[in-house]
Structure 1
Amino acid sequence: MNNIFENEKLSPALRQGLKKINFVKPTEVQEKVIPVLLAHKNAVVQAVTGSGKTHAFLIPVMNEINEKLPYPQAILTTPSRELAQQLYQVTRQLRDAAGLNISVAQLAGGTDRERQLEKIGRHKPQIIIATPGRLHDFVAKKILPLDYVTNFVIDEADMTLDMGFLGEIDFIAQRLPQNCVLTAFSATIPVKLANFLRKYMAKPETIIVDNPTVISPTVKNDLLDVGSKNRKKILYQLLTIGQPYLALIFANTKQTVDELTEFLIKQGLRVAKIHGGITERERKRTMREVEAGQFQYVVATDLAARGIDIAGVSLVINYEIPRELEFVIHRIGRTGRNGMSGHAITLIREEEMDQIFKLENMGVHFDFVEIKNGALVPRKHYHSRKTRQSSSQSLDNKMRGLVKKAQKKRKPGYKKKIKRAIQLDKAQKNKIEQRSKIRKAKRQRKMKRNN
């Protein structure tokens, strides 16, 4: 198969620019997506975090820009200002490497709106990178014309849904030209999102770049049952085993992030925190300090799992399981990137195992571990034990006794006899339950007539 980075449909300048930034071998998502977008086809792309999807849409989008046309020709949306900033930097890097005369503007909430207006008026951007709220604002007030937009990309579409931005995206999509190519990139495709995308895409190309384990094979993904032990103390133990290069600890709320940060600082660790409750200026300063190696530990909410990209994360700890289970995948995706090895540990208690089973059904594989003598060692996974218990507990004592007898070596036909007995017992119970419901309904009707 020919290297897509050398495809003749890409401009010579863009091909040269890719070489300059050392893009030699495309990733799987780039090989599959770039030809589809170069053919001007709508696409829905499901790919895990860190798969190279940004350049999968950025390369064909930049290839389509008419440098002489001083209007927005491509709009790239992303649900957070941190992601918008990342995408803006990556776009400028490729543009500059290719020597293209393309104007790029970043429109994000939480930043100076008037300054953004001034830049748009002065530079006439051809690529707009925006958060949904600020984009909606500028389009609704007719600041941004959409007449010449030929590419509209929804990046991190599932996060866009989670954060409640589909209304703003809907507003924009209704106003796009008919020939505009729509592309959505997402780690997962929930039903609500699939229905939304179907509204604007007639038979899109569906591209699934599926890692069979969902989690990158470079990541050791462990599960640790803390039992009745103090979860904070367990966390401290894990952070001081083996001394990670950079550890990222995820909690569900700002309050928990604050509590963990305070606790770990008291233990003598140098810890940074990132969540929605700190100011934009403070967040940027913290990020600069983390990138400069001033912190070895960062405690964050899920905003950081999808909103920032911290290089060099060698350890991810899920201090608690998120309400949206898919976020476990996004959290773990912060480590083991670009072929580097990584380690993820999820802390649970036995009553949370149902959530782990759901994650396993989604394709997430866990290795059970425990702490012994100051080290992590394997332990037996009790998935099968719990399954057996739950199935037997649904039977009464009489039936449970028959099941135990059936497990012993018997003459041929004995096990079938036990199974029939269990089936008859269930049928009898169902009949009794139905009769009870009918009698109850009759009593209720009689009471209504008497009243």
Structure 2
Amino acid sequence: MNFKELGISEDIINTLKKNGITSPTEIQNKSIREILNGKDIIGEAQTGTGKTLAFLLPIFEKISTSSKDVQCLIITPTRELAIQITEEATKLKEGKDIGVLAMYGGKDVGSQVKKLSGNIHMIIATPGRLLDHIKRKTVDLKKLKTIVIDEADQMLLMGFRNEIDLVMKERPKKVQTLCFSATMDSSVKKLAYRYMNEPAVISVKKEEVTLDKIKQEVVETVDRLKREALCTVLDEDNPFMAIIFCRTKRRADELEVVMHRRGYNCKVIHSDIPQNKRERIIKSFRDADIQYLIATDVASRGLDISGVSHIYNYDIPEKVETYIHRIGRTGRAGEEGYTCLFVDPKDLRLLGEIEKEIKFAIPRRNVE
């Protein structure tokens, strides 16, 4: 996709060209449209992947110059990073009447206060200096449209958790929140989810899925007999920890009811389940207190759980990448993994596409 297709305007595209940028990186491709659509984002991306422009470009598209209010706040752990982002933003605002202010320690507070009395649409700040201005009442965040927490992992490492909490108390109720981090461990996710509404999880770390460590099988059945076939397979395998993927929330709920009734130790996660409950379920699964996690693809995004020995594709995924992504959750760190895909006659075309892509005819498993 090019920048125009992602929704970036011609004048910004021309500015990018002047700076030698002609096509979007992977994180930009995945994030820009989501951000333009107002979605909250958790982005996992290393430095050097183009993540700064991934959030700056759509934010610039959304800033209204007819308003004098601060519309965007970017919080960053170090003044070096604040300076770097400010430089990128300054290049982008060429020819636009957009006020950008860098706010970090070591810079004269008085001059910052003076600038704040003018038209400032975007603030790029370190947490300490930002809180200083909030206490002085020299900055007003009540009309914010977007908040970016950049390098969230570094922020937590440097002990800025309380500062972030205090800053977030100042934001309006309806605000788009974007959280970017090089690593997405549980503490970063906890921080992000605390302030977000159904965020899209975007990761550009190349997934190393070693298919030769994963034994793949297919069970051919019909939809009305699928539950029976699944239960037979589960009884035969008795896996240590397994994820069962369903296509829809409704099918996931129905499957959980049936499995629960039959005595399986299982829980379901999907986007209709409240975030705090989802986190509790995932923690229990991580701790191996739950044997079977029934999930939809959306709810399982960003799930990285060690110890998953088996993946069951109760429903075939629509895309080959989704199949590879699902089965790549087993066979990690050199361990052997197993995956079983249940197909109805109508799924055979999709199965053919998967086999063609992975260059492998998946063996059939007979279920009595």
Name the TM-score class by shorter chain. 0.5 to 0.7
Q: Which structure would you say has the larger RCO, counting Cα contacts within 8 Å and 6 or more residues apart? A: 2
* Matching residue of 2:166: 171
* Matching residue of 1:118: 114
Task: Choose which of 46, 51, 56 in structure 2 pairs with 1:53.
Answer: 51
The answer to whether the 8 Å contact 1:44/1:204 transfers is yes
The answer to whether the 8 Å contact 1:21/1:94 transfers is no
- Alignment of 1:186 with 2:181, yes or no, is yes
Task: Choose which of 7, 10, 34 in structure 2 pairs with 1:12.
Answer: 10
* Matching residue of 2:25: 27
For structure 1, the 5+ residue unaligned runs are 214-361, 364-451
* Structure 1 residues 364-379: aligned runs within 5 Å: none
Offset from partner CA, 1:309-362 (integer Å, 9 cap, x none): xxxxxxxxxxxxxxxxxxxxxxxxxxxxxxxxxxxxxxxxxxxxxxxxxxxxx9
Offset of 1:147 from its aligned partner?
A: 1.8
Moved more, 164-173 or 70-79: 164-173
* Matching residue of 1:141: 136
Opposite residue 75 of structure 1, the aligned amino acid is: L
Task: Choose which of 134, 149, 155 in structure 2 pairs with 1:154.
Answer: 149
Partner secondary structure for residue 159 of structure 2: coil
Shift of the 110–74 alpha-carbon distance from structure 1 to 2, 3 Å rule, reads same
Offset of 1:8 from its aligned partner?
A: 7.0
* Matching residue of 1:108: 104
Offset of 1:40 from its aligned partner?
A: 0.3
The answer to whether the 8 Å contact 1:13/1:100 transfers is no
Offset from partner CA, 1:257-315 (integer Å, 9 cap, x none): xxxxxxxxxxxxxxxxxxxxxxxxxxxxxxxxxxxxxxxxxxxxxxxxxxxxxxxxxxx
* Matching residue of 2:198: 203
Opposite residue 145 of structure 1, the aligned amino acid is: D
* Matching residue of 1:407: none
Opposite residue 182 of structure 1, the aligned amino acid is: T
The answer to whether the 8 Å contact 1:48/1:211 transfers is no
Q: Distance in 1 between matches of 2:175 and 2:149?
A: 13
* Matching residue of 2:269: none
Partner secondary structure for residue 16 of structure 1: helix
* Matching residue of 2:287: none
* Matching residue of 2:288: none
Offset of 1:153 from its aligned partner?
A: 0.3
* Structure 1 residues 216-295: aligned runs within 5 Å: none
Task: Choose which of 66, 80, 83 in structure 2 pairs with 1:82.
Answer: 80
* Matching residue of 1:95: 93
Offset of 1:134 from its aligned partner?
A: 0.7
Opposite residue 117 of structure 1, the aligned amino acid is: V
Q: Distance in 2 between matches of 1:33 and 1:154?
A: 15
Q: Distance in 2 between matches of 1:151 and 1:112?
A: 26
Q: Distance in 2 between matches of 1:75 and 1:207?
A: 21
Larger Rg: 1
Q: Distance in 1 between matches of 2:193 and 2:55?
A: 20
State the TM-score, normalized to the length of structure 1: 0.45
* Matching residue of 1:335: none
* Matching residue of 2:71: 73
Q: Distance in 1 between matches of 2:79 and 2:195?
A: 25
Partner secondary structure for residue 92 of structure 2: helix
Partner secondary structure for residue 36 of structure 1: helix
The answer to whether the 8 Å contact 2:6/2:29 transfers is no
Partner secondary structure for residue 145 of structure 1: coil
Offset of 1:49 from its aligned partner?
A: 1.8
For the aligned residue pairs, the C-alpha RMSD in angstroms reads 2.1
